[in-house]
Structure 1
Amino acid sequence: MLALNILHVKKMAPLILASGSPRRHELLSQLGYAFDVCVPNIDESVYAAEQAQCYVSRLAYEKACVIVKKYPKHLVLAADTCLSIQSEIIGKPMSKQHAFDIWQKLSGQYHDVYTGICVIQEGIVRQNVVKTQVKFAILSEQDMEEYWATQEPIGKAGAYAIQGIAAKYIPEIIGSYTNVVGLPLYETDQLLQQTIKALN
């Protein structure tokens, strides 16, 4: 309630979350912001030799730009998340076998989760990339079969959801938990507040 009052006093422009992710919607709601959702349509292909942190930063910016063109008077927030292990960007599983291939790479290893966040309003652009290290347990074939059967991995970067059943396979994280879910709340709020103050 306090956050809402502060934002009202600062006459914040209407906020749009440029994402169709239910997880990002839930996370942003935790911060107390009122917002609309508009899903951008962009090419999410990885450039040759592109590093994970550059990839998520670029996509977050491109998503925000698409929406701010439609709503130039709004405050637009966009984000993109990916996993990386040994410099390889890990995306969403395209099939059961692809998910198993991903888990075999993650099994017993640390991997990095990057989220790029971008806020744009009235020509002001603020960006950040947040990194979290995640340790995965050693997964057996049975573990993989059982987890795939839940259908939770479908559509998830890295073929898992830390806020769901996959939590039992993750003994350690170093950094922001909400970053792994899809939107680092502390850093997101900082970017939004900086932009709001600059325009008031």
Structure 2
Amino acid sequence: MSGLPQIILASKSPRRQELLKLMDIDFRVVLKEVDESYPDGLTPAEIALYIAQKKAEAFDEDITDEVVLTADTIVCIKGEILGKPDNAEHAIEMLHKLSGNVHEVYTGVCLLHKHQYNKFYDMSEVFFRKLTDEEIRSYVAEYQPFDKAGSYGIQQRIGLIGIERINGSYTNVVGLPTEKVYQQLKKLV
């Protein structure tokens, strides 16, 4: 995408990096440690946006003309937020909750440019078929999804064999709603 200021992706997610590459967006990765806690009482969309902005705020003093892109993805089932699992048993427990149910995936995005925060989010519904205990345990053992909200990657085996359908953006479930990101970046050109 020509004409854009330099993009800084503040994410170690290889999935987000791959999506930006597929969009032909030039970027560099810069990471900062950020506390991802949030206040009680927020909706799932508000949580994703709150954390995405917190990640961007860590860069506010350091940047000049660059655009900092941050994102946060959360999984919500029946009002319960499923973050990243603490360990294998926690991941297995989360996947059992998702099995045979529908859940929502929210990705909040923040574009920081010239001290202005442009925040937006996307939500997708994901329908899982009933998974066997063996399918869940072997997935967790092989893929160790400890860096993924809800303990799964849609592009990995459990997503490929378990997801019956999604309502909404596939790339949102991967971790970055690319169409919305593209439209917002175009406004900066």
TM-score range, shorter chain: over 0.9
Paired residues of 1:68 and 1:74 also in contact (CA < 8 A): no
Structure 2 residue corresponding to 1:118, chosen from 101, 110, 134: 110
Matched, 1:191 2:184: yes
Paired residues of 1:152 and 1:161 also in contact (CA < 8 A): no
Structure 1 residue corresponding to 2:162, chosen from 149, 169, 172: 169
Under a length normalisation based on structure 1, what TM-score does the superposition of the two structures give? Answer: 0.89
Code of the aligned partner of 2:67: L
Farther-moved stretch of structure 1 (97-106 vs 68-77): 68-77
Matched, 1:68 2:46: no
Paired residues of 2:8 and 2:29 also in contact (CA < 8 A): yes
Code of the aligned partner of 1:191: Q
Please report how far the alpha carbon of residue 137 of structure 1 lies from its aligned counterpart in structure 2 after TM superposition. 1.3
| 1:55 counterpart residue number | 47
What 5-or-longer segments of structure 2 have no aligned partner? none
| 1:181 counterpart residue number | 174
Please report how far the alpha carbon of residue 41 of structure 1 lies from its aligned counterpart in structure 2 after TM superposition. 1.4
Paired residues of 1:152 and 1:160 also in contact (CA < 8 A): no
Structure 1 residue corresponding to 2:130, chosen from 138, 143, 162: 138
State how 1:22-171 maps to structure 2 within 5 Å. Answer: 22-166=14-158, 167-171=160-164
Code of the aligned partner of 1:87: G
Code of the aligned partner of 1:23: R
Runs of 4+ in structure 1 deviating by more than 3 angstroms, as ranges, are none
Under a length normalisation based on structure 2, what TM-score does the superposition of the two structures give? Answer: 0.94
Please report how far the alpha carbon of residue 29 of structure 1 lies from its aligned counterpart in structure 2 after TM superposition. 1.1
Paired residues of 1:93 and 1:158 also in contact (CA < 8 A): yes
What 5-or-longer segments of structure 1 have no aligned partner? none
Farther-moved stretch of structure 1 (100-109 vs 44-53): 44-53
Paired residues of 2:34 and 2:54 also in contact (CA < 8 A): yes
Considering only aligned residues, what root-mean-square deviation do their CA atoms show, in Å?
A: 1.3
Paired residues of 2:9 and 2:28 also in contact (CA < 8 A): yes
Which digits, 9 at most, give the CA deviation of each residue in 1:55-94, with x for residues without a partner?
A: 1101111111212321232111111101001111101111
Distance (Å, rounded) in 1 between the aligned partners of 2:116 and 2:88: 42
Distance (Å, rounded) in 2 between the aligned partners of 1:26 and 1:152: 20
Code of the aligned partner of 2:169: S
Please report how far the alpha carbon of residue 158 of structure 1 lies from its aligned counterpart in structure 2 after TM superposition. 0.6
Aligned pair count reads 188
Question: What SS class does the counterpart of residue 143 from structure 2 fall into?
Answer: coil
